[in-house]
Amino acid sequence: MHRPTHIHLYAVAIITLFLSTSPAQQPKRTPEQLDSISGLNAHHLCSGIFVVGRDYQREPAKVLAEDIAPFPAFGWQDNFKYEVDWKKKSVTVSAPGATPRSASYHGDQGCTILPLDGKIHFKPVKVPRQLPDAASQAWPMGDKEATATFPEVDKAALTAALDRAMQVEEQNTRSLVVVYKGKIIGERYAPGFTKDTPQIGWSQGKSITAALIAVLMQQGELKLDDPAPIAEWQQPDDPRRKIRIKDLLRMSSGLDFDNWGLGEPRSYTKANEHFRIYFDSLNVFDHVIQQPAEVPPNTRYAYRNTDPLTLGKIIQDIITARGEEYLTFPQRALFDKIGMRSVVLETDAWGNFILSGYDYVSARDWARFGLLHLQDGRWDGEQILPDDWTDFITTPAPADETLNYGGMYWLARGDQYKRVPKDAYYPAGYMGQRTTIIPSRDMVIVRLGPSPGGLTEYLEQVLVDVLASVDSTPGD
């Protein structure tokens, strides 16, 4: 059967999407920028087709039309083309004046941006899920009896709140899940998406990194005050020897690592060390641990991929030193224990998790992740995370004067939200991925989908409307 692979097959939809970025408006790119943009979009196309799945495997141009073309930050231009190699499960993006870039699918390790020689330098492995069918197991370990009603929940008001949230079309919300007192009281999915659809979480993955560090702490491998055990930092005169685990968790390592965002000339160049993770075919762990110190640790808060990826390197070193399989560790040590079946953690071409942004998880599984934290790291009688872990991650980083950031989690006690309980905290990812944990209301609220921006006010209103539907009178 012929499978469509080119932009012209979705011409009508894509021309409409390009109205805001017509050829005359599209910026002129350097070869370096074009190479980077091609790598990013090869990845997104590959993951959209082979990881998210949906109907993209039958109509792959929908990935472009729905997940890439509408968003100027991804840099797609109308003279770009792509090819899908269905046998090799790879995607190649071509841009005039640039080297074609490819990404290939490797099963449970998802899609990887390939080096120019087209080779990967690790052996992909199957990641078993040691769990029964979700339909046969009670929530939250499974999906059986996942939903419930409570007398204090105004069902009509909650229904209206979720309907309004999904009807704001420009925000592209694809999944909403509301958990109250441990049960799902409401959920919504956009057409083509289900409770089991893994979606990109972007920087929500940083909080998974933190949770894996917490697992190792609970196992006695690490302490918050330990110096980061990076071998390359241990020379007597190396100032990086003073960086602690807690400094990395708080984005306060002090490492020199430029983050130029996705909106200026340096964005798609190698100078953008932070975002280069997502468009270049580099060894991400080598990339971050080679960065020099710029300021002393715990003196500056700076949101940088160095810190979570350095933690990822520490996880890898500990697991391999124990003689265990690194690529299966997150599933067997964390996800299996709390019923998370959908997770795909993608790697670079050297088999290192890019768990600062390339993580694919379903909405219900993010709800389970939130519940683990709502329960102070305890699940079915087992203390998976240290019992004081949530106290640490919800305490503002000392170097962050805004009070917006804790330990790989964002905090509502800062200035981002005005009408949300101040004890709320959340993993947050690019384009509006959120898992909001609200201990004072015994709630977890998950929102997934690629928002083009203007999201804070929208998300706050969603949270306010959902909270208003549940009577918070003490004693309920």
Give residue 264's pLDDT band: very low, low, confident or very high (50, 70, 90).
Answer: confident
Give residue 9's pLDDT band: very low, low, confident or very high (50, 70, 90).
Answer: very low
Please compute the mean of the pLDDT values over residues 320-325 and round it to a whole number: 98
**Which of helix, strand or coil describes residue 83?**
strand
What DSSP element (H or E) covers 43?
helix 31-47
Is the model's pLDDT at 13 over the cut of 80? no
Is the model's pLDDT at 400 over the cut of 80? yes
- Position 59 scores a pLDDT of 77
Is the model's pLDDT at 4 over the cut of 70? no
Q: What is the pLDDT of residues 18-27, one digit of tens each?
A: 333 444 456 7
CB 306, CB 253: distance < 8 Å:
yes
**Which of helix, strand or coil describes residue 425?**
strand
Is the model's pLDDT at 473 over the cut of 80? no
- Position 55 scores a pLDDT of 60
> For tokens 């170097």, what's the residue?
399
Is the model's pLDDT at 35 over the cut of 60? yes
Query: Which CATH topology does 199-468 take?
Result: Beta-lactamase (3.40.710)
Q: How far apart (Å, rounded) are the C-alpha atoms in residues 250 and 440? A: 24
Is the model's pLDDT at 79 over the cut of 80? yes
- Position 411 scores a pLDDT of 98
Give residue 280's pLDDT band: very low, low, confident or very high (50, 70, 90).
Answer: very high
Is the model's pLDDT at 289 over the cut of 60? yes
Encoded tokens for 360: 């694919």
The string of DSSP codes covering 174-209 is -EEEEEETTEEEEEEE-TT--TT--EE-GGGHHHHH
Is the model's pLDDT at 8 over the cut of 70? no
- Position 22 scores a pLDDT of 45
**Portions of the chain given CATH number 3.40.710.10:** 199-468
pTM (predicted TM-score): 0.93
- Position 2 scores a pLDDT of 33
- Position 54 scores a pLDDT of 66
The string of DSSP codes covering 328-345 is GHHIIIIIGGGT----EE
Give residue 117's pLDDT band: very low, low, confident or very high (50, 70, 90).
Answer: very high
Give residue 454's pLDDT band: very low, low, confident or very high (50, 70, 90).
Answer: confident
Q: How far apart (Å, rounded) are the C-alpha atoms in residues 476 and 151? A: 9
Q: How far apart (Å, rounded) are the C-alpha atoms in residues 95 and 155? A: 51
- Position 24 scores a pLDDT of 44
Q: What is the pLDDT of residues 182-233, one digit of tens each?
A: 999 999 999 999 999 999 999 999 999 999 999 999 999 999 999 999 999 9
- Position 12 scores a pLDDT of 25
Q: How far apart (Å, rounded) are the C-alpha atoms in residues 393 and 142? A: 27
Buried/exposed 431-446: b ≥16 CB within 10 Å, e otherwise:
bbbbbbbbbebebbbb
- Give me the chain's average pLDDT, please: 92
